[in-house]
Amino acid sequence: MINWYQLAHDKEKTMIQIRRHLHQYPELSFEESHTHDYIVNQLEQLSCEIRRPVGKNGIVATFKGQGDGPTIALRADFDALPITELNDKPYRSKNEGCMHACGHDGHTAILLGVAEIINEHLAHLNGNVVLIFQYGEEIVPGGAQQMIDDGCLDGVDRVYGNHLWSGYPTGIIYSRPGAMMASPDEFTVKITGKGGHGAKPHETIDPIVILAEFILSAQKIVSRTVDPIKQAVVTFGMIQAGASDSVIPDSAICKGTVRTFDPDVQTHIMNKLDKLLQGLAVANDIEYDLAYERGYVPVHNNPQAYEVVKEAANDLNLRFTEADMMMVGEDFSAYQRVRPGAFFLTGSGNASKGTDHPHHSPYFDIDEAALKYAASEFLKILELEDVIKTERL
């Protein structure tokens, strides 16, 4: 038997070193040139085939086995966010206004650690391992579909992905069969009325008041028109109008997000938003523009692949918990539309280390002890999928 946890534990310092380097030099989605080159440099030291760029900026590394086992893909993302880091750590971001605030530096370090361990056990490789290093996860349309279109899943039988999660305790593995993460849509509404003096509102068509009415009315879409069994969220995150206390502006803008699991509910909410605006336009003589962008499809885990994730955690004596459905989005779902696969979360939250801040926070950090748990989980999955044999071939 190969003790995957011990091997991942032995590789922990390497993964931490990689993660901290990437954390200091974050790059925004679709702009990850340094990160791309760093990953390639690490992979070039190993006995794998490297293809790049895949899509715009992706990398695919393939370890080929000697047997007739399946081909399994493992994926990590490597883009960062436009956030100024407020942590006072020696490895804090050196790129002002850019930060790894979602753990993608950790994801990449984990997969590079897995690559090194596979490289050290090539004689045990019964099938093929495809490592997908993906750019641009944070911004729709994401990098996954572009990499798929460029053949990153050609010949792949199943695909697995991991996300470090600060909301869960370090080392616990979370997943669920079927729907796991929602479709994250975005919308922008601009209402154009007629501006004027704040002392003479009767001579204007006040877009702020009408926008406020729209926002309040939209709250009823989910609570009164969507089946309560079918989860949905409508949230407004930005309102912008005017620049003076005594001037009614010509226009007002708001932005928001819609989260759903069911495509019919997704379409229903989009249409309801438009109908609300149509009614307000007729009643108030305004013009409006609704820009609605559908996000990633929901993450939907294949039942058999989910069972592999669960069995791997149990065999490693890691704690496993069935995850709740989550309203966050992830473009790992694009891979799952093409090949069966499963996504899992590895807890990285530890209040004593200050790593329990939410994702996308300027104080976000990960408990680096989680790296070895995720790496060993990936390796055990490869064994259970018969890609790696515990005995030499």
Q: Provide the 10 A C-beta neighbour count for residue 134.
A: 31
- What's the chain's length in residues? 393
| Binding site members | 102, 104, 138, 163, 360
Q: How far is CA 256 from CA 151, 234, 239, 262, in A?
A: 34, 7, 9, 19
Please give the structure tokens belonging to residue 283.
């009643």
Measure CA of the first residue to CA of the last residue in the chain; give whole Å: 14
Please give the structure tokens belonging to residue 45.
């030291």
- In eight-state DSSP terms, residue 243 is S
The runs of H, that is alpha helices, within 296-385 are 303-315, 333-338, 370-384
Distance CA 184, CA 187 (A): 10
Distance CA 261, CA 82 (A): 27
| Binding site members for Mn(2+) | 102, 104, 138, 163, 360
Q: Provide the 10 A C-beta neighbour count for residue 74.
A: 25
Question: What is 324-347 written as a DSSP string?
Answer: PPBS---TTHHHHHHS-EEEEEEE
Pairing of strands 178-181, 299-301: antiparallel
- In eight-state DSSP terms, residue 102 is S
Burial class (CB in 10 A: 0-12, 13-18, 19+), 75: buried
Q: 231 by DSSP, 3-state: which?
A: coil
- In eight-state DSSP terms, residue 202 is G
Q: What angle do CA 306, 128, 145 make, to 5 degrees?
A: 65
- 364, 101 contact by CB (below 8 A): yes
3-class secondary structure per residue, 44-91: CCCCCEEEEEECCCEEEEEECCCCCCCEEEEEEECCEECCCCCCCCCC
- 322, 133 contact by CB (below 8 A): no
- CA 270 to chain centroid, in Å, comes to 23
Active centre residues (catalytic): 79, 137
